[in-house]
Amino acid sequence: MVLVAGKNGDALTALYDRYSRFVYSISWRMLGQKHLAEEITLDVFERVWFRADAFQPEKGQLKSWIARLTRNLSIDRIRHEKIRPEMTAVSWADWFQELGSRHSSPELAVTRTLQADRVQLAIQELPAEQQEALAYAFFGGYSHQEIANLLDLPLGTVKTRLRLAMKKLAFLLFDEELG
């Protein structure tokens, strides 16, 4: 990233070769349209190029930063293009349906599959109503109020469901008891 910040084009190319599939995959899953996923992929690496100094290694790994950036830009695009909900993969079943089928190497497939199995099981541990609210928030970028309107629920109920869901996932995935 130091080289990218120094505007080394080869460094950005190397970064693209390493992470473009990851970025494209997230954005394609969230947006459900190839051309939009490609635009997001370009946006992400353009942001990496021009804002490399925004990456703070002490706060996490590069891949995590890129993942958050991808999701945030995808949600911005979803909101801007008003392409939800019909064309957005808002269900966990959609997200997990092809798990493990395509990865760049066997060891990556093994590691990712084991990790993904754990995430999928953790999601399945959540009550159905929490899964539903979380999917709207996670993939659709809906606000609390929008989710409440969609599900015809009080605002406080939506907040509670999301909080309980995230707390339980933190516990199941990392053994973290959040207050």
Site for other proteins in 56-75 (CB under 8 A): 60-61, 63-64, 67-68, 70-72, 75
Helices (H) and strands (E) in the chain, counts: 9, 0
Which residue's CB is nearer to other proteins, number 10 or number 152? 10
- Identify the DSSP state of 97: T
Binding string, residues 107-146; x marks residues near other proteins by CB under 8 A: x-xxxxxxxxxxxxx-x----------x--xx--xxxxx-
Least Å distance between CB 13 and other proteins?
Answer: 5
| Measured torsion, CA atoms of residues 175, 128, 65, 80, in degrees rounded to the nearest 10 | -160
Alpha helix (H) residue ranges in the chain? 2-5, 9-31, 34-50, 62-81, 92-96, 106-125, 128-140, 144-151, 155-174
For the packed helices 128-140 and 144-151, what is the interaxial angle rounded to 10 degrees? 130
Q: Which has the closest alpha carbon to 156: 147, 168, 165, 167?
A: 147
Q: Return the number of the residue (87 or 178) whose C-beta is nearest other proteins.
A: 178
Q: Single out the residue of 103, 151, 153, 157 in contact with other proteins (rule: CB under 8 A).
A: 103
Binding other proteins by CB under 8 A: which of 80, 101, 128, 152? 101
Q: Does 1 bind other proteins (CB under 8 A)?
A: no
Backbone angles phi, psi at 83, to 5 degrees: -95, 5
Size of the site for other proteins (CB under 8 A): 82
Q: Show contacts with other proteins in window 17-56 (CB under 8 A).
A: 17-18, 20-22, 24-26, 28-29, 37-38, 41-42, 45-46, 49-50
